[in-house]
A and B are shown apart, each in its own frame.
Chain A
Amino acid sequence: MANKRVDDATGVETVGHEWDGIEELNNPLPRWWLWSFYACIAFAVGYCVVYPAIPGLHKASAGTFGWSSRGALAAEMTAADAGRAQVRAAIAATPVEALANDPKLLRAAIEGGRAAFKVNCVQCHGAGAAGAKGYPNLNDDDWLWGGDIATIHQTLQHGVRQPGDDATRMSQMPAFGRDGILTAAQVQDVVSHVRVISGQEKASGSSQRGAKIFAENCAVCHGANGEGSRAVGAPRLSDAIWLYGGDRQALTETVTNARYGVMPAWGTRLDPVTVKMLATYVHSLGGGEAAPAAAPAPAASAPAAAQ
């Protein structure tokens, strides 16, 4: 280190190295800085021992803490489940009609239903539960089987046309055209009548003929004025909502071949708490009806067109 000297411009000592006239000033670090560097190394060594760190052929070393990201996720999921356990137990213990009495429980049930809906129901009913052709819109005030929470729960529990479920929702409209009960012309007359009572057409000769056919063949389920019947799941035909479409072509198809929508019985697929939460959620979408007592007044009918 013979070249060590004090630099004139800065008054700082050089370290004594020199490369083609370039020298290095010696501005020494404080000693404690070095110790903090050693402390970091010691920490890193300890970290590599307790956490997975050292790569192997197939996987890294396990670390003495046994930590893994999958394990951390599992622990968080378990903690979340444990956190929800109390609410789920309360929902399990409460009849579905009584959930509304406890605003906090109702809120939890609706949010739980919202989550379960996105997994199990959106495939047919859509993300916003607005339905599609053949799949009812759950936001509206029109229900095939009834819109109070107990009825919705019943429908969810047993499904629609679920084979092997005695309590499943089952309506059986004949295929009037296909089975030869009505001729093609008579089908057109019935369609005319239905379009008149739903306010889509003006009365005509065809619709007057159709009214007679309707009274003989259809009124037993759909009612004399097409008001429908929730008892048998016959949709109301005098309203603005059509499950399969209210135009002539769609109605012709419906009367000719009938429609047989299906929904799984969720009672055998999901746990009882989730089914309750789904019922609560569907009821909260804006079309939910108050209580069975209120149900008889406005007849329900639904989109499900003919069955």
Chain B
Amino acid sequence: MNTANRPRRKVYVAAGYNTVSMGTGRKEFSPKKPRPGLEDYIQQAGRGVLGQIGGAKNVDEGVIGNFMAARFNSQGNLAALIPAIDPGLQYKPCTRTEGACCSGALALMSAVKSVLAETAETVLAVGVEVQNTVKAVYGADILATAGWSRERKAGHAYFFPGKFSDRAGAYFQKHGRERTRKAMARWYRNAIENARLCPTAQEHHNTAKDLEALAMAEPNPKSFVEHLNFYDCSKVSDGACAAAVLSEEGLRRAGIPKSEAVEIVAWGQVEADLTRAPEDPTRLETTRQAVEQALKAAGVATDRLRTVEAHDCFTIAGLMAVEAIGLAKPGEGPDFVLAGETSRGGRVPVNTTGGLIGWGHPTGATGVHQAVTLWEQLTGKAGDCQLEPDAKRPYGLSINMGGDDKTVVAILYRKGG
């Protein structure tokens, strides 16, 4: 058993808050009208948490996950936007984390480690990204910095869709295209159907009828990539998510009963060499390592997972994550999804508020959003998205991935108390 990935002291997550994931698809979104900025999102999410934990006086430390505000918003020094949430946070220690799309989970891990180090009882963890400041064609440049810069020149105009298109192509070749393509379409349908239940989701207003048929659209490599269509991709999103990471003492101070919090049971935090291509493009090896570490450290098998928050930046990444978790053998992820096992009524519902494709993917916020969703699900606060609790399957697992399976954090939760 790997004790390094298990807390020596109880650590909880509670008081989650998500802003709307704003972008195309939301009725109120208009690219031509002025929109809230980075600090507005941070403040809304931060204040949403402070309101649930008795205010800023109960916060010992702040941490903010963000990928590339330096380019999306010409803003650096993001830790200094935490005191802008509330005057009570002025002069408290704050940190910013960056690990591309895994920045949010790195913020959570930073918070967890502060609580474990006993330098804080309560940490306010925020994740944020505001990406609609630039057109998608320029946003692709910014997001490409999650890859190795030396690969940019030879890379696709839409760099990451290009990377995962290549992975999809390799997967099609190894395991067959038709079945995989259908499973990708089903993944999209599940994402949208779940997002429709969640008022903050970017696809909440989606009313398209035959989602699977829509998602079977042939990719157009002339204007996009070879093996993915637009439905296979998460959208461009603005949003922030926040939660409190607390010790038992932190919970007591905040007046939150353990039953209203989730406990972090274990985690896997894994980094792979940015300069090396994946050995097998049909598998997410780093993700597999992270999940394995978390599950091993907790001594928990996959049959005890009630729900999973997977990093489906692309539908194909969702299918590969199912295999990396061990829910299906390599090459059998599509069958698992097509059998309905990841759907709301299936064995392990995945991404119950829509995931990156349905809820949205404000890159730096995603890891925190996953924690908030699992907190809601495991404590019965998920509203229309709520799953029936199952005593035999008390765990929730989140996987947040930065870049092409490079920076990965998997966190295992269960209801506190």
Chains A and B bind each other: no
> Which residues of A are interface residues toward B (Cβ below 8 A)?
none
> Which residues of B are interface residues toward A (Cβ below 8 A)?
none
